[in-house]
Structure 1
């Protein structure tokens, strides 16, 4: 009997170690505008899991951000900053880190030119059900919870006994393979995995070099900042101009654009975009 227990623990430890130092690739399908349910967006998201913690982020945006940083670093040496023709890929601009073993959650996001760190205090109160399902190569079990204004269903696998998953979700006795809300407008599903690069070292996103100070807020204060941004998306830019910052805008050919006209057009685009973003993942932030 003791030998059997020892073998079982060894198998579990082996599965756990396989889950560590892994990059899990999720397909995220979502509908951001509730009035256009036929318009489904898709983004490839990464969940990097290491012994110290995990990071969840958009593949395309991470690659674009890395490219932009390399260009800025190179051009800053000459003093000639020119971003003409450079465009970011990826629509998901946030990233999330979870620190093990306490699973403290930090949410990093931007509103206009300002970058925020929101310290998450809410927990998911999971109810594990008996229903099981095979999803891809994984044997999974069903769990449900209410979180951020939505009802969620998760399918987790104890084959990988790590209590993590996409976005801020965690706390089940296995990795979340699939996650969707009751309206089927936000769906995450694992599509693959691979080992993290040799020498990968988990460090907090707080340590990343940035050009503007990181603004740290709790959920209540961030909710207010978020509402202020939706009401006036150009506020931070006006503040930068008032402080003497010179902002030049150019078209794809490199020709200077009239700044007043450019800012007016930008504000109109941002307000139209914000108006259509009425079905975001965390619905309760709009209330």
Structure 2
């Protein structure tokens, strides 16, 4: 019986170790500084296991699921209204290595997948203020990161030194974090166990760069997305309107991209 008990304990420990926890956040974003009443809201997930964590948008998972089924069936006749509803402003993933603390940011520019390691340390000042948020006792902390002052509320009741987006390094999970201008906020809404971490399929070329190089490429894309994609087409990485032969459809895509770039003038990272 003793051997059976030890064996059961070993199996249970392996199962527990392989499990992950999903923290579900509501993300509020004021992307247009000229229209501060327009608040975009999305759901994002932070999946954590003992080895790593990954932060990503819920719509990304739903969209990938639709494309996955399309690839299996060979039918790419999508419901346009459905795909429009799944367009996300959280169009990136952030993976944090539990051992090294390295944070890897992944996103798409035109057709290619860009990846960089965050090179700026996040230094926190823990403040005396405490608050009860939901069922958790939390304490306030402050940091200055990427051009914004951020206030976070963390709890030691959840033993993960992690949080949404790139936030981490406090003695407990970050339950809520918002910037001083109230442009962005992340609020924990739900927690649940999941059997395994979410995985994502890669489409396009993977381009690993330094953060500064990524910012240069992203700025070029936002300044003139159509020209950027035409340049990509010339270099053999075609995408989007450059593949469209219908002039009217191409014009609609170009106008939409320019309009989006104009309205998204208040990024989460200002510098």
TM-score (norm 1): 0.79
In structure 1, C-alpha distance between the alignment counterparts of 2:78 and 2:175, rounded to whole Å:
40
Distance 1:258 1:119, change over 3 A: same
1:164 is paired with a residue of what secondary structure? coil
Deviates more, 1:86-95 or 1:126-135: 86-95
Distance 1:186 1:246, change over 3 A: closer
Quote the offset at 1:264 in angstroms: 2.1
Quote the offset at 1:160 in angstroms: 1.0
Per the alignment, residue 230 of structure 1 pairs with 222
Distance 1:67 1:217, change over 3 A: same
Per the alignment, residue 218 of structure 1 pairs with 210
Per the alignment, residue 120 of structure 1 pairs with 118
Gaps of 5+ in 2: 1-15
Quote the offset at 1:121 in angstroms: 1.1
In structure 1, C-alpha distance between the alignment counterparts of 2:59 and 2:237, rounded to whole Å:
30
RMSD over equivalenced CA pairs, Å? 2.4
Quote the offset at 1:281 in angstroms: 0.7
Moved >6 Å (runs of 4+): 243-249
1:163 is paired with a residue of what secondary structure? coil
Per the alignment, residue 32 of structure 2 pairs with 33
Per the alignment, residue 85 of structure 1 pairs with 79
In structure 1, C-alpha distance between the alignment counterparts of 2:223 and 2:50, rounded to whole Å:
41
After TM superposition, the structure 1 = structure 2 runs for residues 1-287 of structure 1, keeping only pairs within 5 Å, are: 21-75=20-74, 82-85=76-79, 87=83, 89-91=86-88, 92-197=90-195, 200=196, 208-239=200-231, 241-242=233-234, 259-284=246-271
Quote the offset at 1:161 in angstroms: 2.1
In structure 2, C-alpha distance between the alignment counterparts of 1:201 and 1:258, rounded to whole Å:
41
Distance 1:248 1:61, change over 3 A: closer
Distance 1:145 1:232, change over 3 A: same
TM-score (norm 2): 0.84
1:271 is paired with a residue of what secondary structure? helix
Distance 1:160 1:237, change over 3 A: same
Per the alignment, residue 78 of structure 1 pairs with none
In structure 1, C-alpha distance between the alignment counterparts of 2:221 and 2:238, rounded to whole Å:
22
In structure 1, C-alpha distance between the alignment counterparts of 2:179 and 2:237, rounded to whole Å:
43
In structure 2, C-alpha distance between the alignment counterparts of 1:109 and 1:179, rounded to whole Å:
22
In structure 1, C-alpha distance between the alignment counterparts of 2:188 and 2:212, rounded to whole Å:
32
Distance 1:43 1:201, change over 3 A: closer
1:93-142 Cα deviation digits (max 9, x unpaired): 11111111222101111122221112111111100011111000010001
1:161 is paired with a residue of what secondary structure? coil
Quote the offset at 1:230 in angstroms: 1.3
1:234 is paired with a residue of what secondary structure? helix
Gaps of 5+ in 1: 1-16, 76-80, 250-256
Quote the offset at 1:243 in angstroms: 6.8
Quote the offset at 1:224 in angstroms: 0.5
What is the count of residue pairs matched by the alignment?
249
